[in-house]
Structure formats: structure tokens, C-alpha cells
Amino acid sequence: MLDKVRGHDYGKYLFKASIVRIRGFSGEDITFDFPVTALIGPNGSGKSAVLGAAGCAYKPVKPGTFFPKSAVGDESMGGWRVEYDLIDKRLNPRQLIRRTSNFRQAKWVRGDVVDREVLFFGIERTVPAGEKTRYKALARSTYIHKLPLKQLNGEVATQVEHVLGKSVADYRVTQYGFDDTFFVGKTGHNNYSEFHFGAGESSIIRMITRIEQAPENSLILIEEIENGLHPVATRRMVEYLIEVAERKSIQAIFTTHSDYALSVLPDEAIWACIDGRLRQGRLSVEALRAVSGRVDKKLAIFVEDEFAKAWVDTILREKLAADYDQIEVHAVHGDGNAVATHRSHSTNPAVTFKSLCVIDGDSSQHEDKDAGIIRLPGTQPELTVFESIRGKLDEILAVLTVSCQRAPEAQESVRRSIEEIIRTNRDPHLLYNQLGIKIGFISEPIVRGAFLTLWVRTNQEYCQELATRVQSLIKAVSN
């Protein structure tokens, strides 16, 4: 699907939104490189603004839905503007088309706005049915319902079951009012109305029903996809969006605070809203909290990926003793992000913790120890650690074997596997996974942890230098 987007192989698709100015954003671009996009960020960071800006590219979405103007407090809306690059094969079969939404003279202006089916699911979708005024009549003893109860559509029921992990084969739906519906569930021999559904259960059935009814190439917008859902159901809902994107060429954009919602997406599908900036790439919600300046410890260390995080964590766990509890290490997806985040925190007087940046040995960023930007040794990180331990096998093979959860007598088998992997490996990021499989399906974290621990114990000079720097920063905060 990444290739399909790159090839512009869609009938209709929002490819890019350039936010010239809107709320806290100015001069920020977001590209939708995957048909399912997650927007993450702390409360108030602008996730909903980006979601709304995306929706305003199309005729069915009225800008006032996301950006109403109040007579009090909204004087700064003048000059708000978003520019779009769109795929619409009906209007131009070969090239992207450009459109603009802007707020001027106290109203929104959109020229030659493009039409596309857009479904928006806001936070109110999880309000329990019993609290919705439109269903009050159903609770009256005098109400008589004459319309039939029908089974759920087969495809809808199948997809709902995949998300909720429970059968809805006996659930029914009936028409209510002019254009509304009401559901009836069943457990064993007992029927129960939607008044007794869980909020997440009801919202999932309604969302999937509308998405399955939507035409191909529709745009789906969802606020806080995890609302009312168990974490596993949240992940399954995103899996459903990916599946329906492939099946029906739909595009989906959602906001979230859940790591479970991000777990099945590629890095290109995740955008973080941080301090008026848009940053592409995978950030855990924990890392996002640190990037936005919400750290409870005395020192935050920013690195570019999960391997660097594991490496730095291992060094400091071994060297800091009790002081280790005063630090947090965060992978922020990319050396540029790591350096920018560190510099931002270092120059922000409102930040109460210290910051340090550790870049990879092959990073294009410049090391600046005086500014708190230091470099890991070697070039490619995974390969650097692997080759270092490989070069000392005669001394540490027994410890490495046991640390990888293999019996002591498996030492020569482990040695042979290491030599074979280094000869055949084409992607250093896979070294520890490949070795784990080779020596008996040992998990990658266990193998990686064994190599990193031994690397620390055999590279004392670098590790002590890093630990000393960290301890001085912790002491500075304490003083």
C-alpha cells in the first residue's frame, strides 16, 4: 500500500496538506504516505486541528464543523490557510490537483472544492444510547415499535466480530426515526437493547456499518479511535482499517493516545503533533510525553531508535546503580528528531529536567559534547556491537552462550551460528533476530540483551565516560 500511494494509484486520495497557518501550526506539511494515518500528541497539541484540516479538503466537510468562529476569543483566525495536493482521477487522470481552504473576511473560502465521500466519527459516538436524547422515546412505556428487527449485514457482523472478539451473529438492527437505527443484542437466550451495550461495542458496530456501506475511495476521519475500547480491540480496529483500505481503497485518518493503535502501522503512517510542529515517524506515547516536556525524572536522554535506546539503557543500568532511577531514555525516530528535541529542551527555561542526546555512530548530525550531543562508538550500531563481541568470542563464548539461554555445551554451535550469520546477513538490523532463530528460536530481545551486556563489560572506558556525564547532569538538577 505504500507503493500504491507513491504511484498515485488511487481514484481519490488526499496526498498532502500544507498548513500555512492554523491554530498553533505555521508552515507545516503532512504527507499521507500510507492510506491509514495516525495523529498522536499530548492534549491540546493540535491533533484534531490536523484531522479537521484534512477533512476540509472536501466538499461534504464544512470547515465550521472543525473550526467554528466564536465572537469571543477567535480574533486571530484571520489568515488561516491550508493548501492541498489531491489525487482525483476524474478531474485529472495524470497529475495531482491543488486546492486551498482559507479563512478571510470572517468566513471560510474554498474555491472549486473537490467532492468525495467523507465519514467523520467524533467523540460523541461513545456516549451511551441511554444518554442520547434521540432515543428517549424508546424508554417510554407508551412507545410502540412497529418496524421489524433484522440481522446485521453479514460482512458487518464478520468485521465486528474480528474487532470485538465476540460473536454478534444473533444481534439485530431496526430502523428508528427518519434516518437512525437501534440495535438489539443477545446473550444465550436473553435479548437486551442497545441501552445495555458497552459504549465501545455500540460505536464499533455503527462505525463498521457505515464504513462497509461507504463507496470505494472514501475518506474516514476518527477522533480518538481507542475511545471506549479495550487495548486489544483498539489494535484490531486499526487492523480493520488497513484491511478495508486495501479492499475498498479507502483512506483513514485518526487521532489517538494509544500505543496499541500504533503497533500495526508502518513508521510512515504515524505523525506526531508537538509544539506546533509535525514530525513523521514512530514515537511511543511514553516518548511523546518526554518530547513534549513531560518528564518526571531528572534527566531525559534522546536517541534515534529502539536499538540505541536498549544500548544506552544497558550501559547506564550497569553503571549508575541507584541513580539509574533518575533517568529516562527515549527513542524519537531519527537522529534529526533526537537532536532537535534535545536542543529545544536545553534552551527552554520552562523545562525542569536536564536533557542529553546520544546519536548513532553513522549519524549525519554533528557531535557537540559541549552542547550535550554525543556519539555512540562505531558506525552501524547493531553491527558495531555484534562485531565487537564476535572479536572476543575466545574469552566470552561461555558467558554469551548461557546469556542466550543455551546450555554450556552449545558453545561451539553458537560460535558457528555467529560466523554463518555474519557471512550471510544483508541487513544489520536483523542480526540478533537471525541469530536467535539459528541457535534455537531464542527471542531477539534476549539475544540482543546478551550482546549488549557483554559489550558494556568489555568496553569500560566509553561506558564510564557516558555514566560520568549523566551523573553530573543529575547532580546539577539536584543542586
DSSP calls for 119-178: EEE-GGGGS-GGG-GGGGGGGSTT----SPPEEPPHHHHHHHHHHHSS--TT-EEEEETT
Least confident stretch, 166-180, 244-258, 304-318, 381-395 = 166-180
Percent of the chain's residues with pLDDT above 90:
59
The SS3 of residue 341 is helix
Looking at the fold, whether 296 and 359 belong to one and the same domain comes out as yes
Q: Per-residue pLDDT for 294 more than 70? A: no
b/e 164-186 (16+ beta carbons within 10 angstroms → b): beeebeebbbbebeeeeebbbbe
Q: What is the mean pLDDT of residues 363-390?
A: 94
Q: Per-residue pLDDT for 400 more than 80? A: yes
The pLDDT, as a whole number, for residue 199 is 75
Q: Would you put residue 148 in left (φ > 0), alpha (ψ -120 to 50) or beta?
A: beta
What residue type is 220 in one-letter code? I
Distance in angstroms (rounded) separating the CA atoms of residues 132 and 157: 24
Alpha-carbon distances of 42 from 134, 167, 237, 328, 338, rounded to whole Å: 33, 35, 22, 18, 18
Which of these three, 231, 246, 274, is where a domain ends? Answer: 274
- Would you say residue 205 lies in a domain? no
- Would you say residue 207 lies in a domain? no
Looking at the fold, whether 334 and 243 belong to one and the same domain comes out as no
- Would you say residue 392 lies in a domain? yes
Q: Per-residue pLDDT for 455 more than 80? A: yes
Q: Per-residue pLDDT for 277 more than 80? A: yes
Q: In what order do the strands lie in the sheet with 107-110?
A: 25-31, 12-22, 81-88, 97-104, 107-110
Looking at the fold, whether 449 and 472 belong to one and the same domain comes out as no
Looking at the fold, whether 99 and 224 belong to one and the same domain comes out as yes
Q: What is the mean pLDDT of residues 299-322?
A: 93
| Total domains present in the chain | 4
The grid coordinates of residue 263 equal 503497533
Alpha-carbon distances of 25 from 81, 104, 156, 276, 466, rounded to whole Å: 10, 17, 38, 5, 37
Which of these three, 252, 274, 296, is where a domain ends? Answer: 274
Which of these three, 168, 197, 226, is where a domain ends? Answer: 197
- Would you say residue 206 lies in a domain? no
Distance in angstroms (rounded) separating the CA atoms of residues 300 and 312: 12
The residue behind cell 438489539 is: 184
Looking at the fold, whether 115 and 235 belong to one and the same domain comes out as yes
Looking at the fold, whether 184 and 226 belong to one and the same domain comes out as no
Distance in angstroms (rounded) separating the CA atoms of residues 158 and 166: 10
Looking at the fold, whether 363 and 402 belong to one and the same domain comes out as no
pLDDT digits 0-9 by tens, 72-88: 777 778 788 899 999 99
Looking at the fold, whether 392 and 417 belong to one and the same domain comes out as yes
Kindly compute the dihedral angle of the four CA atoms of residues 291, 293, 295, 297, in this order, to the nearest 10 degrees.
100
The residue behind cell 496499541 is: 260
The SS3 of residue 183 is strand
Looking at the fold, whether 373 and 400 belong to one and the same domain comes out as no
Q: What is the mean pLDDT of residues 311-332?
A: 92
The pLDDT, as a whole number, for residue 186 is 85
The pLDDT, as a whole number, for residue 267 is 87
pLDDT band at 46 (very low <50, low <70, confident <90, very high): confident
Count of all residues that appear for the chain in the document:
479
CATH code, domain with 290: 3.40.50
Least confident stretch, 153-167, 196-210, 291-305, 389-403 = 291-305
Looking at the fold, whether 358 and 297 belong to one and the same domain comes out as yes
Least confident stretch, 34-43, 123-132, 276-285, 380-389 = 276-285
Q: Per-residue pLDDT for 25 more than 70? A: yes
Looking at the fold, whether 157 and 22 belong to one and the same domain comes out as no
- Would you say residue 202 lies in a domain? no
Q: What is the mean pLDDT of residues 332-349?
A: 83
- Would you say residue 208 lies in a domain? no
Q: Is 0.85 topped by the overall pTM?
A: no
Average pLDDT for the chain = 90
The pLDDT, as a whole number, for residue 289 is 67
Q: What is the mean pLDDT of residues 184-193?
A: 86
- Would you say residue 318 lies in a domain? yes
Q: Per-residue pLDDT for 364 more than 70? A: yes
Looking at the fold, whether 73 and 88 belong to one and the same domain comes out as yes
CATH code, domain with 228: 3.40.50.300
User: What residues make up the domain containing 58?
Assistant: 2-122+215-274
Q: In what order do the strands lie in the sheet with 327-331?
A: 327-331, 299-303, 354-359, 373-375
Q: Per-residue pLDDT for 345 more than 90? A: no
Residue 73: count other Cβ atoms within 10 Å of its Cβ: 8
Q: Per-residue pLDDT for 417 more than 90? A: yes
- Would you say residue 232 lies in a domain? yes
pLDDT band at 292 (very low <50, low <70, confident <90, very high): low
Q: What is the mean pLDDT of residues 98-108?
A: 83
